[in-house]
Amino acid sequence: MSASRDARSYWAGINRTLLCSDAAVNRLWCAEMTAAEEALSITKAEALTYLAAERKRIGGLSREEAISRLLASSNVDGRIARVGKLRSSSLLTAA
Protein backbone atom coordinates (compact mmCIF):
# COMPACT_ATOMS: atom_id res chain seq x y z
CA MET A 1 0.00 0.00 0.00
CA SER A 2 1.36 3.40 -0.98
CA ALA A 3 1.26 6.20 1.62
CA SER A 4 0.82 8.84 -1.06
CA ARG A 5 -2.18 7.22 -2.77
CA ASP A 6 -4.47 6.69 0.19
CA ALA A 7 -2.96 8.19 3.34
CA ARG A 8 -5.96 7.45 5.55
CA SER A 9 -5.98 3.71 4.79
CA TYR A 10 -2.20 3.56 4.98
CA TRP A 11 -1.98 5.10 8.44
CA ALA A 12 -4.99 3.12 9.68
CA GLY A 13 -3.10 -0.05 8.69
CA ILE A 14 0.06 1.15 10.43
CA ASN A 15 -1.92 2.01 13.57
CA ARG A 16 -3.69 -1.38 13.55
CA THR A 17 -0.36 -3.18 13.23
CA LEU A 18 1.16 -1.22 16.11
CA LEU A 19 -1.86 -1.71 18.36
CA CYS A 20 -1.90 -5.46 17.77
CA SER A 21 1.84 -5.81 18.34
CA ASP A 22 1.87 -5.16 22.10
CA ALA A 23 -0.78 -4.85 24.81
CA ALA A 24 1.18 -2.05 26.52
CA VAL A 25 1.12 0.00 23.32
CA ASN A 26 -2.62 -0.63 23.04
CA ARG A 27 -3.24 0.56 26.63
CA LEU A 28 -1.11 3.66 26.07
CA TRP A 29 -2.93 4.38 22.79
CA CYS A 30 -6.32 4.10 24.52
CA ALA A 31 -5.20 6.43 27.31
CA GLU A 32 -3.90 8.95 24.77
CA MET A 33 -7.11 8.81 22.74
CA THR A 34 -9.21 9.32 25.89
CA ALA A 35 -7.10 12.32 26.88
CA ALA A 36 -7.30 13.76 23.36
CA GLU A 37 -11.10 13.40 23.32
CA GLU A 38 -11.36 15.09 26.74
CA ALA A 39 -9.10 17.93 25.59
CA LEU A 40 -11.17 18.39 22.44
CA SER A 41 -14.37 18.47 24.47
CA ILE A 42 -12.95 21.12 26.81
CA THR A 43 -11.63 23.18 23.90
CA LYS A 44 -14.99 23.06 22.11
CA ALA A 45 -16.82 24.14 25.29
CA GLU A 46 -14.44 27.08 25.79
CA ALA A 47 -14.76 28.13 22.14
CA LEU A 48 -18.56 27.97 22.27
CA THR A 49 -18.61 30.02 25.50
CA TYR A 50 -16.36 32.65 23.92
CA LEU A 51 -18.41 32.77 20.71
CA ALA A 52 -21.67 33.12 22.67
CA ALA A 53 -20.15 36.04 24.57
CA GLU A 54 -18.98 37.61 21.29
CA ARG A 55 -22.45 37.21 19.79
CA LYS A 56 -23.97 38.90 22.84
CA ARG A 57 -21.39 41.72 22.75
CA ILE A 58 -21.93 42.32 19.03
CA GLY A 59 -25.69 42.19 19.47
CA GLY A 60 -25.43 44.97 22.04
CA LEU A 61 -23.63 47.37 19.69
CA SER A 62 -25.44 50.35 18.31
CA ARG A 63 -26.10 50.35 14.57
CA GLU A 64 -23.43 52.98 13.97
CA GLU A 65 -20.83 51.17 16.10
CA ALA A 66 -21.58 47.86 14.35
CA ILE A 67 -21.16 49.45 10.91
CA SER A 68 -17.94 51.16 12.02
CA ARG A 69 -16.45 47.90 13.31
CA LEU A 70 -17.53 46.00 10.21
CA LEU A 71 -15.85 48.56 7.96
CA ALA A 72 -12.70 48.46 10.09
CA SER A 73 -12.53 44.65 10.08
CA SER A 74 -13.10 44.57 6.31
CA ASN A 75 -10.41 47.24 5.80
CA VAL A 76 -12.61 49.05 3.29
CA ASP A 77 -10.76 52.35 3.78
CA GLY A 78 -7.41 50.64 3.10
CA ARG A 79 -8.77 49.04 -0.04
CA ILE A 80 -10.12 52.38 -1.23
CA ALA A 81 -6.71 53.96 -0.64
CA ARG A 82 -4.98 51.20 -2.63
CA VAL A 83 -7.37 51.59 -5.55
CA GLY A 84 -6.79 55.34 -5.49
CA LYS A 85 -3.03 54.78 -5.84
CA LEU A 86 -3.35 52.71 -9.02
CA ARG A 87 -1.66 54.35 -11.98
CA SER A 88 -1.41 53.45 -15.61
CA SER A 89 1.93 52.02 -16.66
CA SER A 90 3.78 53.70 -19.52
CA LEU A 91 5.21 50.38 -20.68
CA LEU A 92 2.44 49.82 -23.19
CA THR A 93 2.31 53.29 -24.71
CA ALA A 94 3.45 53.86 -28.29
CA ALA A 95 5.62 56.86 -27.55
Q: What is the mean pLDDT of residues 66-83?
A: 91
Q: Is residue 95 part of a domain?
A: no
Higher-pLDDT residue of 83 and 88 is 83
Q: Is residue 91 part of a domain?
A: no
Q: Is residue 94 part of a domain?
A: no
Q: Is residue 89 part of a domain?
A: no
Q: Is residue 93 part of a domain?
A: no
Q: Is residue 72 part of a domain?
A: yes
Q: Could you give the number of structural domains in the chain?
A: 1
pLDDT tens digit string along 2-55? 666 788 888 889 988 988 999 999 899 999 999 999 999 999 999 999 999 999
Q: Is residue 2 part of a domain?
A: no
Q: Is residue 48 part of a domain?
A: yes
Q: What is the 3-state secondary structure (H, E, C) of the chain?
A: CCCCCCHHHHHHHHHHHHHHHCHHHHHHHHHHHHHHHHHHHHHHHHHHHHHHHHHHHHHCCCHHHHHHHHHHHHCHHHHHHHHHCCCCCHHHCCC
Q: What is the pLDDT of residue 94?
A: 60
Give the pTM. Answer: 0.56
Q: Which residue range(s) make up the domain with 34? A: 7-84
Q: What is the mean pLDDT of residues 61-83?
A: 92
